[in-house]
Amino acid sequence: MALVEMVMPKMGESIMEGTVLKWLKNVGDSIEQDESVLEVATDKVDTEVPAIQGGVLKEILVQEGDVVAVGAPIAIISTNGEDTAAPAAPAAAEAPVAAPAAQAISQPAAASSDAAVAKLDQPASGRFYSPLVLNIAREEGISMQELEYVPGTGKEGRVSKKDILTYVESRKNAPQQAAAPQAQPQAQAPAAALQQQAATAPAAQPQAQAAPAASKPAASYSGNVEIIEMDRMRKMIADRMVDSKRVSPHVTSFVEADVTNIVNWRNKWKNDYKKREGENLTFTPIFIDAIAKAIKDFPMINVSVDGGNIIRHKDINIGMAVALPSGNLIVPNIKNADQLNLNGLTKKVNDLANRGRMNKLTPDDLAGGTYTVSNVGSFGNVMGTPIIMQPQVAIMAVGAIKKKPAVIETPEGDLIGIRHFMFLSHSYDHRVVDGSLGGMFVRRVADYLENFDVNQTI
């Protein structure tokens, strides 16, 4: 009987680990190749992990809620379909030819050792640490005992990415002899941790951090209410939105654009495009095309901030907000949007929107965005003040297209006519984007929309 280790797959270029949300199969269940076996959450998206081979699920190696490093074993599959255990040695002999994503159980000791290194112990205090923080701690050789002393500035004393990186920096700069000459009762704690603890006193103790939350009076509700617990993604969105407002001073500029030419052009081509391609021709790819052109004119919009440095991105990866079946919003992005024509952008937009509605987006779809557009007009809103997607520095909301009477200038004089207008709302990070740049950028996008070439084909 052949036994194969199923490992945590690589789910994106920057994804180093995932949290097991739910096992979809039980021990002893028959599974088909590519059939979903468990649900995994990363810091970007929730996804299902398929079986790398068909057979019987022999053993589950990680439990729901566990944080597992990419490449670590998560389950054992009996590939010949039998559900009876076999001796370890024959299993190792029969499993050298496993699927590429699997590792044969010919080296159990090494696999166990790697798994042990990849995972920190559970915190004794019950303090929560995000997968990103735990990953940084592992890379820097910080034990769970030492991590407990890191002051957290997040909600309920949680350690943020900034907190752990600040601690790592102070840890590297701490004098090597700081702990040696003084034998104090706290000598068993790392020198850098004690130094940080002394500087931040009560905040350095996890127990002290939990105290304010414990003393907070219980909320009381009057009237007929329903209490709905946020799902994991909604909590993650909430944390990121609060963090963005805390980090970036938001400023919003507005421009009203005459998009009559775009409306007339789309009305001319949408039916033919639907028949030819079997897909809808929407306004979104036209908006993205105009934004990509404006970014090339104003490249300092396509930046991010890293401490005291401004990182200018040469790739133009434009994110678009997509509504999930749960009602939450997620932002996949179109890589190198400036290199695609309208037909290519339409294909990309439709693909991301469809996979988003089916919960089929991957972490790579969400990674690497440099600018974001949100179509609030799809909800009938004429304008909005969107929140920046960190670490980007700007985001644009496009409003609903409305007919309005307008003054039309002609060689024979001014006339009153019916035109199609929409508002563009540009929110930007005032740390690095001044009002002149933010205002000129949104005006340039409007110019590209208003000067749309009605003679082009698709």
List the catalytic residue out of 351, 434, 447, 453: 434
Residue keyed to tokens 């159980």: 105
- 3-state SS assignment for residue 316: coil
List the catalytic residue out of 250, 313, 420, 430: 430
- 3-state SS assignment for residue 429: strand
Residue 409 to residue 259: CA distance in whole angstroms? 16
How large is the greatest C-alpha to C-alpha distance in the chain, in angstroms?
A: 94
250 tagged catalytic: no
Which residue, among 245, 232, 230, has the nearest Cα to 389 in the 3D structure? 245
430 tagged catalytic: yes
H or E stretch covering 426: strand 413-429
H or E stretch covering 417: strand 413-429
Number of H helices, E strands in the chain: 13, 20
- 3-state SS assignment for residue 6: strand
Residue keyed to tokens 């299902």: 48
Which residue, among 105, 47, 48, has the nearest Cα to 78 in the 3D structure? 105
Question: What string of DSSP letters covers 216-234?
Answer: SPPP---SS----PPPHHH
**For residue 226, which phi and psi values (nearest 5 degrees)?**
-125, 125
- 3-state SS assignment for residue 277: helix
Which residue, among 64, 67, 68, 66, has the nearest Cα to 6 in the 3D structure? 68
- 3-state SS assignment for residue 416: strand
Which residues have C-beta within 8 Å of that of residue 226, sequence separation ≥ 6?
Answer: none
**Quick check: 441 and 294 in contact, CB under 8 A?**
yes
Cβ neighbours around 361 below 10 Å, total = 22
161-173 vs 131-139: helix crossing angle, rounded to 10? 20
CA 231, chain centre distance (Å): 16
Catalytic residues: 430, 434
